Chain A
Amino acid sequence: MAEQIPLVDYLVLGDEPHLVAHECTSCGARFFDRRNACASCFGTEFRDVDVPDEGTLRSFTIVAHAAPGIPVPFVSGIVDCDGTAVRGNVINVDPDPDHVRLGMTLRLATYSLGTDQQGTEAIGFGFEPTEAT
């Protein structure tokens, strides 16, 4: 099997792909990138925690005009994964307001971005509806 690489380092691949966050051990604030001190409480110790892979759609936009090279339309969403807010595209759904609704339940899903010349496949993530829309 060809090697895989995640689109971003906070996406963990494997049998059960999931997102991981750096959580402040003092106050519980979560970050997807590195911080020298917690932006909330200035604590300096962090631990890695798994982010739940189901959530509700707290906000979205359907982008019709984007920078050159970005396929449109696509749905950009803010997903509340049991208290952790995650930014991601809403995928495997018709990109229109009849099918994308505030408050809908979504789950993490992955897809291939393609394979490079070394045969490594890049894997991205999005969120798909848990029920037919």
Chain B
Amino acid sequence: MTDPVWILGIHMTKFGKHPDKDVVDLGAEATMAALADAGMTMADVGILAAGNLLGSGGGFGQQLQKQVGQTGIPVYNVANACATGATALRTAIMAVKAGEVDVGLAVGVEKLAGAGLLGGGGKSKSDGDEWQPAGRYGAVAPIDGRIGTETMPGVFAQIGMEYSHRYGGADFDLFARISEKNHAHSTLNPLAAYQKRFTVDEIKNDVMIAYPNTRPMCSANCDGGAAAVVVSDEKLRSLSGDQQRRAVKVAASVLTTDPWEDACQVLPNVNTLTRNAARTAYEQAGVGPDDLDLVELHDCFATAELVHYDNLMLCEEGGAADFFESGAPWRDGTTPVNVSGGLQSKGHPISATGIANVWEVCHHLRGEAGDRQIEGASVGLAHVIGLGSACGVHILERHAA
């Protein structure tokens, strides 16, 4: 049993529109606040793991250093789609765990306000003068829209509908009610991009994007950043009582990819890699799903939240619809899920998400979540999926003392 790693300082910026700030500004804001929360400066930090997919033109970590402090420490610029933030955090944790550094910093930032549909397009959709086979399938024309869909709302709609086909119990109405829950939760989160409650009818009658996902059932593209300072157990014991009391234990830190399975070449399987990550995380932490006081899971679409109830083993296999119908994932239920408002209303600035959900859990474990505090929270889980695929799961525990 190795010594635990601790989150000493963590911060999430307001999610939403930040037209006056670029990605480096947002990253710097998150970094400075996380360092202040930790009671540290860049002089203490031994490694920086940085994530940004769009807008920095590469080398985001080095650009960030120039904004907040260039000390010559190693920078790892990481990318793992929507799991980029969790990958940065895990990279910093691994460096501390390996004993190479006492203090690591992880930062994730994205500017996505107004980005529109993600996943499809990317090249001209106009057909050429001559049919010319190209690419891995020898395609003579773009296949998005001709051989199924490549846009995220449609891909994740199919993921939810496949679950419905396999187990039953989930329909348009149930998916809309999952979204209703998260939007209701968001009204208590001042940092959420949207804090508006919707009725189920309003959700169902909103603009259809990819059945059964209407617009409010899709993650909100927005700007945001998040950063975390992690320290070794030995380092923590050298710090003040207040720093020790507020430190949050990283009880499990896991990253997985999707193993080969039939059908994964035509529809990404986000289930097995999440199940594998959860199983490993519960083993590492020595806790089970029943011990969790809150869960922040990757509800990039309402259809995705449903399958992850099952994948994270919050319910029996095949029982996700019943789990939701029981009221369990509402904030007053037995396993509150996405009390932040989730990606559908808090927002989803891709690379920030995997640290922002850890911030949300830490906020509750420290008893600092204000109006949305889950009383007495002592253990929580944060989960992200990056399509392609990567899954990050972190289990966090309140400091015992």
Contacts and interface: CB of A to CB of B under 8 A. Distances in A.
B127 to A, nearest CB: 7
Contact of B162 (A58, A63, A87): A58
A15 interface: no
Contacts of A59: 158-159, 161-162, 165, 267
B19 interface: no
A106 B121 CA distance: 28
Given A5-B140, A117-B129, A64 B265 contact: no
Contacts of A14: none
Contact of A67 (B129, B144, B260): B144
A40 to B, nearest CB: 4
B140 A76 contact: no
Interface in B169-225: 172, 207-213
A120 B147 CA distance: 20
- By size class, the interface of chain B is 35 or more
A71 B212 CA distance: 19
Contact of A61 (B117, B121, B147, B211): B211
Interface stretch (B32-40, B149-157, B242-250): B149-157
Interface in A88-133: 88-89, 97, 102-103, 113-114, 116-118, 120, 122, 124-125
B263 interface: yes
Contacts of B129: 116-117
Given A5-B133, A122-B140, A78 B164 contact: no
Contacts of B125: 67-70
A1 interface: no
B146 A89 contact: yes
Contacts, number: 163
A44 B67 CA distance: 50
A9 to B, nearest CB: 3
Contacts of B120: 66-67, 70
B98 interface: no
A62 interface: yes
A115 to B, nearest CB: 9
A6 B139 CA distance: 8
A64 B133 CA distance: 28
A67 B147 contact: no
Among A58, A114, A125, which residue has the most Cβ atoms of chain B within 10 A?
A58
B117 A8 contact: no
Contact of B131 (A64, A65, A120): A120
Contact of A8 (B147, B154, B164, B265): B147
A68 B144 CA distance: 11
Interface string A29-56: 1011110000110000000000000000
B400 interface: no
A64 B208 contact: yes
Contact of B141 (A9, A72, A122): A122
9 contacts: A29-B262, A58-B263, A59-B159, A62-B211, A66-B120, A78-B162, A102-B161, A113-B140, A117-B129
Given A66-B145, A85-B266, A97-B172, 20 more contacts: A32-B137, A32-B265, A59-B158, A61-B161, A61-B212, A63-B153, A63-B154, A66-B117, A66-B120, A67-B117, A70-B145, A74-B145, A76-B210, A78-B263, A78-B266, A88-B147, A89-B147, A116-B130, A122-B131, A122-B141
Closest 7 CB pairs of A and B: A69-B125, A67-B121, A9-B138, A70-B145, A85-B263, A61-B157, A59-B162
